[in-house]
Structure 1
Amino acid sequence: MSDAPIGVFDSGVGGVSVLREIRALLPGEELIYYADSAYCPYGGQPREAIQARACAITELLLARGCKLIVVACNTATIAAVEHLRATYPVPFVGMEPAVKPAVAATRSGVVGVLATGAALAGEKFHRLLAAHARDVRVITRPCPGWVEQVEAGELDGVRTRALVERDVRPLLAENADVLVLGCTHYPFLRPIIQQIAGADTRLIDTGAAVARQVRRVLEREGLLARAANGRLQWLTSGDAAEVLGLCERLFAVGTTV
């Protein structure tokens, strides 16, 4: 069982940002990535619909022998991860916006959170604020259109830059010096976000933290792989040539685009 694969899924290609961190930390693990691009984006869909997709993907990954599943999507984590944990026999690792490290890092006392509307409206996010925000002001900003730009492979260009400007500038105007990238798609826009925000603004996402949690769970369960180099397999509900080509491109170049 220790040499069984880890499954990672997202509504589309965004979870590749998490997959890269898992591969960097755990190069011996076999990984299966599922991009649910035919149903992307999850934001705006009913909770029941997201749960149904999460269950369908989980069952597919379990059929391929996965020993642990990463829900590499903030919206799907909010809507489905507790249901998945109660329903299926393998460990699940989910996502959450990096509010705690952002609060610790801010010097101005203002943190901006960039995320989907569904993630910002979720009870899990409000629990995070209650637990960690303390006397820090946390400003949230939904970012319509960002996911779609990444899904189209448009990581720069006039339209992408305009969307990022639209959502980042108001946070900077409120003196935010730390920005949380609260969606797994957003790290692929990191270069353009950093250009607009400036070098003194810190950007934080949770991909590396999720990878560390995956390692902790595998160690706890005695499931760490014994191999030196694990395989990587790509799956999608969308157009395979288009989606998997973009997945491979993002995996190869990551946030250096």
Structure 2
Amino acid sequence: MNAANPIGVFDSGVGGLSVLHEIRRSLPGEDLLYVADSGHAPYGDKSQQFIESRSIAISEFLVSRNAKALVVACNTATGAAVTTLRSRFMMPIIAMEPAVKPASEQTKSGVIGVLATSRTLAGDNFVRLFARYGEDVEILGQACPGLVEQVEAGDLSGDKTRLLLQRYVLPLLEQKADTIVLGCTHYPFLAPLIREIAGPGVAVIDSAAAVARQLSRRLEVGGLLADAADAGTECFWTSGALDKAKPLFSQLWNADVEVRPLPD
């Protein structure tokens, strides 16, 4: 493992590209590997054993590509598998955490809403966050079935997506939430529509920038930062259908990209 090696990033699908954008902004000289497990998305309705098994297999693939660090760019996979991954792989492993702490510091009404998958809201990580910050603010967890599928389909602003978001966001506003946490890496791609529905008085925040900062710190401490003089590259893989993946990745990455099939 050395500083010239790439960083491996994975998610249940394309949502982790929102994290990859922040990593690229923070670390322009790093080579990035990204795996979307879109053939098995969403993870939110899968068992912990299944998610853990997929996370291990994808991490092993990224390690085989000489990854010097792993980013679990998926809140559901973090809750289900990150402890196991850290016991198996001796490298920096950065995971997601819903931005409940900054939301609790930012809210003026004392009420924050968390949009997430059912599994994330029921996981130990969120329970710990609720216990840590729930005494000072009211935390409203809102499960959002269907939203991941809309992002995976590239529908970021259509009527169905808007109706789903209204169903999930408006009850939070009725309960006086003035800060909304995006607890799934797919949801930042819906942030413009969420802000439109919630209105200008509601803050919408996610964890991607914090994850990029933590990754940068861990690489610096380990002497693993790449030479920033050279522009980094990106390589993409998917377990989903290639004919759908290329236009979707290009749409969300804001550039024409090649997507490779993830080996079985």
Q: Give the TM-score range, shorter chain.
A: over 0.9
- The answer as to whether partners of 1:235 and 1:244 remain within 8 angstroms in 2 is no
Q: Distance in 1 between matches of 2:233 and 2:31?
A: 5
- The answer as to whether partners of 1:102 and 1:178 remain within 8 angstroms in 2 is yes
- The answer for the alignment partner of 1:94 in structure 2 is 95
- The answer for the alignment partner of 1:170 in structure 2 is 171
Q: Distance in 1 between matches of 2:120 and 2:204?
A: 18
Q: Distance in 2 between matches of 1:217 and 1:241?
A: 36
Q: Distance in 1 between matches of 2:233 and 2:19?
A: 16
Shift of 1:245: 2.6
Shift of 1:135: 2.0
- Opposite residue 19 of structure 1, the aligned amino acid is L
Say whether residues 1:237 and 2:239 are aligned partners.
yes
Count of residue pairs brought into register by the alignment? 253
- The answer for the alignment partner of 1:145 in structure 2 is 146
Q: Distance in 2 between matches of 1:7 and 1:92?
A: 10
Q: What SS does the aligned partner of 2:129 have? A: helix
- The answer for the alignment partner of 1:191 in structure 2 is 192
- Opposite residue 143 of structure 2, the aligned amino acid is P
Q: Distance in 2 between matches of 1:55 and 1:209?
A: 24
Q: Distance in 2 between matches of 1:132 and 1:111?
A: 11
Say whether residues 1:105 and 2:92 are aligned partners.
no
Q: Distance in 1 between matches of 2:171 and 2:5?
A: 46
Q: What SS does the aligned partner of 1:199 have? A: coil
Q: Distance in 2 between matches of 1:207 and 1:130?
A: 23
Shift of 1:252: 1.2
Q: What SS does the aligned partner of 2:44 have? A: coil
Identify the range of structure 1 (162-171 vs 89-98) with the bigger mean alpha-carbon deviation: 89-98
Q: Distance in 1 between matches of 2:247 and 2:27?
A: 23
- The answer as to whether partners of 1:99 and 1:133 remain within 8 angstroms in 2 is no
Q: Distance in 1 between matches of 2:244 and 2:3?
A: 32
Q: What SS does the aligned partner of 2:46 have? A: coil
- The answer for the alignment partner of 2:127 in structure 1 is 126
Q: Distance in 1 between matches of 2:156 and 2:143?
A: 18
Q: Distance in 2 between matches of 1:82 and 1:220?
A: 21
1:31-53 deviation line (CA, Å, top 9, x unaligned): 00100011111112111110100
Q: Distance in 2 between matches of 1:213 and 1:5?
A: 16
- The answer for the alignment partner of 1:246 in structure 2 is 248
Q: What SS does the aligned partner of 1:43 have? A: helix
Q: Distance in 1 between matches of 2:245 and 2:134?
A: 38
- The answer for the alignment partner of 1:78 in structure 2 is 79
- Opposite residue 114 of structure 1, the aligned amino acid is L
Q: How high is the TM-score relative to the length of structure 1?
A: 0.97
Q: How high is the TM-score relative to the length of structure 2?
A: 0.94
Identity across matched positions, percent: 54
Shift of 1:238: 1.0
Q: What SS does the aligned partner of 1:140 have? A: strand
**Aligned-residue RMSD, C-alpha:** 0.9
Q: Distance in 2 between matches of 1:69 and 1:34?
A: 11
- The answer as to whether partners of 1:234 and 1:244 remain within 8 angstroms in 2 is no
- Opposite residue 244 of structure 1, the aligned amino acid is K
- The answer for the alignment partner of 1:136 in structure 2 is 137
- The answer as to whether partners of 1:100 and 1:133 remain within 8 angstroms in 2 is no
- Opposite residue 13 of structure 1, the aligned amino acid is V
Say whether residues 1:65 and 2:71 are aligned partners.
no
Contiguous gaps of at least 5 residues in structure 1: none
- The answer for the alignment partner of 1:27 in structure 2 is 28
Contiguous gaps of at least 5 residues in structure 2: 256-264
Q: What SS does the aligned partner of 1:187 have? A: helix
